[in-house]
Chain A
Amino acid sequence: MNQLLNRRGFLTVSATLAGGALLVGCTPAQQMGLISLGAEEDFGPFGPFLKFAKDGAVTVISKHIEFGQGNHAGLAAIAAEELDADWTRVTVEQAAANTKVYGNTLVGGAQGTGGSSAIANSWMQLRNAGAAARAMFIGAAAKSWDVPAGEITLANGVLAHASGKTAGFGDLLAEAAMVPPPAAPKLKDPKTFTLIGTDRVRRKDSVAKSTGVARYTQDVRLPGMLTAMVAHAPRFGAKVASFDDAAAKKVPGVVAVYKIPTGVAVVANSTWAAKSGRDALKVTWDEAKAEKRSSATIAQQYRDLASGKTSGPEKNGWASFDSKGEAAKAAGGANALEVDYDFPYLAHATMEPMNCVAIVKGNSAHLLFGSQFPTLDQINTAGIVKNLPGTIKIDTLFAGGSFGRRANFQSDYVTECVHIAKKVGKGTPVKLVWTREDDMRAGYYRPMVHHAIRVTTDADGMPATWRHRVVSQSIMKGAPALAGPKPKFDSSAVEGAEGSPYLKATPVVDGQVISPDAGVPVLWWRSVGATHTAYVMEHTIDQLARRAGKDPVDYRRALFTKAKADRHLAVLNLAAEKAGWGAPAPAGWTRGVAVHESFGSVVAQVAEVKLENGVPKVGRVVTAIDCGIAISPDQIASQMEGGICYGLSAAMFGAITLTDGLVDQGNFDGYRVLRNSEAPTVETYILRSANPPSGVGEPGTPVIGPAVANAILAITGKPTLNLPMVKG
């Protein structure tokens, strides 16, 4: 969790963005006040997370965006459990932007959804909200019926007394509103939960999402709304030198053309007119500061840095993330396993390309879109319209996926829309639409990463020394300087290697990381550092087990035992048992295993793989997860299924490459993603746990790649060191 706080320490980040030097010396509370100034704070008698209708229906307010991860169902269930509501009468409403009330305690207090933290950071908050409301209704019933509160029962939304009196929430709404909420409401013993952990906790949005009525940013239609598209520079870092909009302005429906910081915007009265207008623009670009290198050139630079061939000053940026024993001993040697891994840039490639609706009038701004980090988006918008962040109104809508893309320090697509809406002005709604190509070529990729590993083993074949070098751009570039000492390295580049039980079990460790600059914007991407560290650690372990002549599961068990990694051991054993590890795989299939912890949860996967003309085919995947108390087993399974597809898609096909600074891929024809016929059948097993809930959206993603690579290793005897597995 420290990594998470460190990586996404948004409280200070936000404050710095909001006011810079102005805020030096402010307490966090004062900083939050400045950010939130203007935000509405009157939420009624039951607080900011619960509303009751006169007919007794319950609305749970979600401070987190729903972009697929199923958190709305889980969040509602937490409150409904403590409230003892009738689950069928519970709905979910998206909270407005309000940092003070809806901050995320796991991302430094900013309002935002990330790090698989939605359930974890809301756990006590929503339990308390539900329990407080429960106490208020019981107090109201006791007063109305003139009976002791202790004699009143509340189950499934019905208050009852032995005298025969019954009431629903709607019947006692006015009375309950007058009862002071308890300061410390009594919470249930989790052993007595009747809703949480059951298959009754199902999504609340499946009807809307199966009938076409769910509203995404792309679907916003407002009176007088205009649609904008932007001609972006073909190379990162280029700027508009000049442009000719004569032809664009002749396109029927085009209303205006503006130069904005990120390019040239065409504003029109329909999407097709905006696109046609943009296609007719002639723009010349100033590429003096543009990134013109090819990704292959950058990759070679990374390899040279790791191998010590680099002689320039850039070689001096190494920082240690793990050091144990005499580092010099970890240099390798004649019998060392020496493996170097290369990971490409990855696009998030959400189904809904980035988009935003903005209404700017004078210094006021109102945004409607899938906002992953409202606090950041408020701050970045406030800087453009010259107002305080708390005055920026954001209506967060469903997003057609994000996987991290909708949150970044620059609010890139948001500020682009705000700049256009400011040019249009007069309170005219403007919808910025990115085409697939705009989206795929805008950067904010998972960084390209290189790992160089040198491991020597003891007489039993177990790791004795481990030298680890990581080269990756930092996703924290562009983050305003954090208060306090500057971190020596970007922990998100090594999380998962740093803290690995395998390194804990190795006597001598020398882990170092360097983050060279490049002009390609990079960002977190579903499971962040684990996207590559899990692969490196898990695939390396299988290579070591193979050299030692040991079974990969037994080899891991020995290391987990030595490292006292009990949760790792438990999920490994559960997955191995359910997958039938040790018994022969079905004819033609070969099993591979991997285990990794991220976002507080530990996941083990056993994949059944075969090679068809050299291309991996993944059939059955057995996955076991320890995510603490399971709120919605069905949605946990859904996230394992989806996370595995997302990780497998990247491992098999995912690669963004650049040629002379130009992104080679623009659409799904060049950026291949997993399709239905390639998607495995996943079985999910959840470890019983009494711990508070931890992440689910991301932890399933990074494990499948190494599990498949380990199966391929078992089939061919060869490691897979260069991703993606399927080239071209």
Chain B
Amino acid sequence: MASTLDVNGRSYNVNSAPDTPLLWVLRDELGLTGTKYGCGIAQCGACTVLADGQAVRSCQFPMSAVGAAKITTIEGLGGTHPLQAAWVKLDVPQCGYCQSGQIMSAVALLATTPKPDDAAITAAMDGNICRCGAYQRIRAAIKDAAAQPAQPQPAKA
């Protein structure tokens, strides 16, 4: 039973069963493997994507609930987003596995709070676990991106 998904500004016909979490549709059916599986119960944030600009945990977001929402994944940022530039500038990643989710949570944060203070950053990022402990650099990179003259925008959906 085919349905349609809007991902990174492109329309996809997908065949996964309706109860399939968006995470596995993205990864297995669309081949967008930048979004990671970490826990399956919305505890770690590795699977974070944007749905109409809001950060959502795609592991707990069944395809049947996506509807017409415009989905943005790490691939949709295009590699030039100020947050991605800051991540590279500060060498934030260690193992890197959680970083797609970290960056997507940060994109959602800056979209609503362009100049977040420390409390706003940790509040927005507390749902994203990093077992390598890159937290300090994540905080610094968000501040670095927020300080850039061109304000980051959520990627075009």
Contacts and interface: CB of A to CB of B under 8 A. Distances in A.
Interface of A: 67-70, 202-203, 205-216, 218-219, 221, 227, 252, 270-272, 349-353, 398-401, 403, 433, 435-436, 634-635, 638, 641-646, 649, 667-669, 673-677, 679-682
B41 A667 contact: yes
Interface in B91-119: 91-100, 103
B95 A399 contact: yes
A206 B38 CA distance: 20
B126 A212 contact: no
A641 B44 contact: no
A349 B91 contact: no
B33 A221 contact: yes
Contacts of B122: 676-677
B56 interface: no
A69 B133 contact: no
Pick from A399, A645, A675 the residue with the most CB of B within 10 Å: A675
A212 B97 contact: no
B11 interface: no
B109 to A, nearest CB: 12
Given A351-B38, A435-B40, A272 B131 contact: no
Contacts of B91: 202-203, 206, 634-635, 638
A69 B94 contact: yes
B128 to A, nearest CB: 7
B152 interface: no
Interface residues of B, number: 58
Given A400-B95, A642-B132, A677-B123, A272 B34 contact: no
Contact of B40 (A403, A436, A677, A681): A436
B74 A211 contact: yes
A435 B88 CA distance: 30
A231 B43 CA distance: 23
Contacts of B126: 675-677
Nearest to A621: B136
Given A400-B97, A649-B131, 18 more contacts: A68-B95, A206-B87, A208-B96, A209-B93, A209-B99, A212-B34, A212-B73, A227-B28, A270-B28, A352-B97, A399-B95, A645-B130, A667-B39, A667-B40, A667-B43, A668-B129, A676-B138, A681-B136
Contacts of B87: 206, 210
Contacts of B16: 270, 272
Contacts of B27: 219, 271
A330 to B, nearest CB: 38
Contacts of B60: none
Nearest to B46: A351
Contacts of A669: 41, 43
A649 B18 CA distance: 38
Contacts, number: 180
Contact of A644 (B20, B29, B129, B133): B133
19 contacts: A68-B96, A211-B34, A211-B75, A212-B33, A215-B33, A218-B33, A218-B37, A221-B31, A350-B97, A351-B131, A400-B96, A634-B91, A638-B137, A641-B135, A642-B94, A645-B135, A675-B129, A676-B121, A677-B126
A303 B31 CA distance: 52
A165 B5 CA distance: 59
Do most interface residues of chain B lie in helix, strand or loop, or is the interface mixed?
A: loop
Contacts of B94: 68-70, 638, 642
A203 B94 CA distance: 9
B79 interface: yes
B43 A210 contact: no
Do most interface residues of chain A lie in helix, strand or loop, or is the interface mixed?
A: loop
B84 interface: yes
A643 B100 contact: no
A179 to B, nearest CB: 36
Contacts of A67: 95
A383 B146 CA distance: 55
A724 B16 CA distance: 43
Contacts of B131: 349-351, 401, 403, 646, 649, 673
A351 B24 contact: no
Pick from A210, A271, A668 the residue with the most CB of B within 10 Å: A210
8 shortest A-B CB distances, which residue pairs?
A212-B34, A645-B133, A400-B97, A209-B96, A68-B95, A68-B94, A679-B135, A212-B74
Nearest to A208: B96
B129 A673 contact: yes
A433 B27 CA distance: 13
A611 B139 CA distance: 23
A351 B123 contact: no
B56 to A, nearest CB: 17
Interface in B1-58: 16-17, 20-21, 24, 27-29, 31-41, 43-44, 46
Contact of A436 (B39, B79, B103): B39
A378 to B, nearest CB: 23
Pick from B33, B84, B126, B131 the residue with the most CB of A within 10 Å: B131
A388 to B, nearest CB: 32
B125 interface: yes
B17 to A, nearest CB: 7
A351 B133 contact: no
Contact of B139 (A349, A400, A676): A676
A351 B128 CA distance: 11
A206 B137 contact: no
B88 A210 contact: yes
Contacts of B66: none
Nearest to A67: B95
Given A206-B92, A400-B96, A642-B134, A211 B84 contact: yes
Given A351-B44, A667-B43, A677-B123, A401 B34 contact: no
A380 B36 CA distance: 29
Nearest to B85: A210
Contacts of B125: 676-677
B22 to A, nearest CB: 11
Given A212-B33, A642-B94, A675-B126, A401 B132 contact: yes
B77 interface: yes
Pick from B27, B43, B133 the residue with the most CB of A within 10 Å: B133
A643 B21 CA distance: 33
A642 B38 CA distance: 19
B92 A210 contact: yes
A272 B23 CA distance: 10
A211 B77 CA distance: 8
Contacts of B28: 227, 270-272
A67 B138 CA distance: 18
A68 B38 contact: no
Contacts of A677: 122-123, 125-126
Contacts of B46: 351
A216 B40 CA distance: 18
A31 to B, nearest CB: 33
A555 B114 CA distance: 49
Nearest to B80: A211
Contacts of A212: 32-35, 73-75, 100
A480 B40 CA distance: 37
Contacts of B17: 252, 272
Contacts of B21: 272
B24 A679 contact: no
Nearest to B27: A271
Contacts of B41: 436, 667-669
